[in-house]
Structure 1
Amino acid sequence: MSSQIPFLDAEAVARLRPRDAVQALIDALRGGLDTSAGAPRSRAPLTHGAFLMMPAEYGADAGVKVLGLAPGNPERGLPSIQGLFLLFDAETLTPRAVLDGAELTALRTPAVSLAGIRHHLLADDSPLDLLIFGGAIQAVRHATVTADVLDGHRPLGSVTFAVRSPQSASLPEEVAGLPVRVVQAGTPDADAAIRQAGLIHCATSAREPLFDSALVRDDAIVVAMGSHEPDAREVDEYLVARSRVIVEDRDNAMREAGDVVLAVEAGVIAPEDFVTFADIAREGSHRVDRPVLFKSVGMAWEDVVVAGAVVAAQGRTWE
């Protein structure tokens, strides 16, 4: 082992092109990665917050992401979530690299969302009207990663963010050269944007449905990734009932994904009706005759796969 383990800061992690992170996830699933084999995330309470730990392994890589969750940090001018990802050799467990955990999460999360829907998203070449609920980092990154995946395959038609307080939202003025429109969630303007959208990303901390799902087009794709608790959801059971529902892993979804857990409890769908991440990774691009809903909660193996791709993209190896 080298006397100095390389640290890849946020800038270095961000050098991996988003569409390459998407492809790395799809390749891992096509390569036989077992999404149910990893350990579930664990939480360790602390005096001023908690540690969240997510260990996993895939191929030649093993790793663990350790995040510090400090609810009081915004008052100190600090992020409420900070952390590191530790990458090891899977056989020898020799440390290979340390990565900025926040940037890895900011890259990995939208990459997972796009990997889950890419085969449906690219089945059409008409301009895509994009709507994102939320105004924080994941909302922004879902917009930019979507644009990167579409680049050269399908044009963006419009980009709209729906937020609770448009006056205080800090959002980019444009995405992929298109002007960004900001509307207030729950208003007629937001309802009109829902009716128009071909892709809706939900990236919020909401615990109740964000919108009336009757407004969603029959050919729309919806991604719900903001919640990972069994009693919290961003979409209602009516959307689940009328959609092709994709989840990362059935058992994990029934532990953490309130959007589908509550729909199962309502009797509108059964877990065996879910399409898994591994299933869709083997599919080619194609349309379906109903909405598509991808419910993501984040799994540790995704961090390992993307971290391995980040290190490989550095163009160097460390012994």
Structure 2
Amino acid sequence: MATVTLTGPQVRAAVSMPDAIDAVRAALLDLDGGLFEQPTRTVLGAGRFLVMAAHHRPTGSTIVKSLSLNFDRAPAVVGAVTWTDTRHTDQLVADAASITALRTGAIVGVATDLLAPAEARRMVLIGAGGQAADQVRAVHAVRPLRTLTVVNRDLDKAKHLIAALNAELGGISETTAVGSGPAAEEALADAEIVCCATSTATPLFTADMLPERVHVNAIGAYRPDMRELPSELLADATVLVDQREAALEESGEILHAIAAGLVGESDLVELGAALRTGVPQPRRRTVFKAVGIAVQDWAIARLLAAKTLPGWEEAR
């Protein structure tokens, strides 16, 4: 019996963003097909500790992720993802921060590929923290960007992110870092894709700041007391979620909009179902709201297991 341990850089070296997007897309289809057991996420210490698990029946494999969250430290996410399966005695233990950022970016890539206009090339990213870079990597993988604006209260942090992404990705002809205020509103008014990756408790913008046709991803808020999006936007958009049960328990945006009578539970479309059957009655504005589910972590861990565990082969 062997335990393979992977650091954050090793996870990054093993899994590309396009591969992560494909893996998460396949996992969501399996989730919609009833091939996973996925208990509700355990939340401890007022949301500072999370424990998530998923079991994939066809491969006899399971992941468990445990982590702590503290947005006043760097990195904000610290923990481990453990992979085991019933056919082998070897196991994998990998850095949770890198897997979490990678899989969160990947699901945004899946949603953007499904929902954003094929010609969309202008993106606004709000937030420059640990999840931010993978939002850009994922969107750029499915909608090659011409324009990227990063909005962040700490302008130096936004500029640093822009510089790093320019060096890594290339091909984005116009990149700009702005703080909040008129410059941010001007960028939003011209956006085709908006990604929100913050820990705010209040909406980042009002619905009337956005163009009539836009796709919005929101991944930062994962508790009922957190909210990146205004309820009026959800009322005027086709709303997809990673999983309805999780969103109804953990998404402040969804819960607030339902309490205000602007959105009903039946209005929420799961991303896996939309991948399988299409988006029902899409509007000119689309929203993807994710709180994070364990099958995403399983998807990345499966790729890692296939590359690092001796003799492991996926059984489908």
Match of 2:122 among 120, 126, 129: 129
Matched, 1:240 2:228: no
Match of 2:3 among 2, 5, 13: 5
CA distance in structure 1 between the aligned counterparts of 2:259 and 2:231, rounded to whole angstroms: 9
Structure 1 counterpart of 2:135 = 142
Structure 2 counterpart of 1:159 = 148
CA distance in structure 1 between the aligned counterparts of 2:189 and 2:182, rounded to whole angstroms: 11
Measured at CA, do residues 298 and 276 of structure 1 come closer, stay the same or move farther in structure 2, by a change above 3 Å? same
Identity of aligned residues (%): 28
Which residue identity is paired with 2:96? Answer: G
Q: CA deviation at 1:70?
A: 5.3
CA distance in structure 1 between the aligned counterparts of 2:267 and 2:49, rounded to whole angstroms: 34
Describe the superposition over 1:141-196 as per-residue Cα deviations: whole angstroms up to 9, x where unpaired: 1012211233xxxx3120110111213443132243324211112x1111111011
CA distance in structure 1 between the aligned counterparts of 2:146 and 2:281, rounded to whole angstroms: 19
Match of 1:260 among 241, 254, 273: 254
Q: Quick check: 1:13–1:99 contact (8 Å CA) kept in 2?
A: yes
Equivalent pairs counted in the alignment come to 303
Equivalences for residues 34-73 of structure 1 within 5 A: 34=34, 37-45=37-45, 51-58=49-56, 59-60=58-59, 61-69=61-69
Matched, 1:81 2:77: yes
RMSD: 2.7
Extract unaligned runs of 5+ from structure 2. none
Describe the superposition over 1:34-73 as per-residue Cα deviations: whole angstroms up to 9, x where unpaired: 4984112223449xx954211111232201011134577x
What secondary structure sits across from 2:3 in the alignment? Answer: coil
Q: With the length of structure 2 as denominator, give the TM-score of the two structures.
A: 0.87
Structure 1 counterpart of 2:21 = 22
Match of 2:102 among 107, 110, 116: 107
Q: Quick check: 2:76–2:130 contact (8 Å CA) kept in 1?
A: no
Q: With the length of structure 1 as denominator, give the TM-score of the two structures.
A: 0.86
Q: Quick check: 2:109–2:142 contact (8 Å CA) kept in 1?
A: yes
Describe the superposition over 1:206-253 as per-residue Cα deviations: whole angstroms up to 9, x where unpaired: 111101211212221000111011232111111001000001122211
Structure 2 counterpart of 1:171 = 161
Q: Quick check: 1:119–1:286 contact (8 Å CA) kept in 2?
A: no
Q: CA deviation at 1:277?
A: 1.6
Which residue identity is paired with 2:9? Answer: E
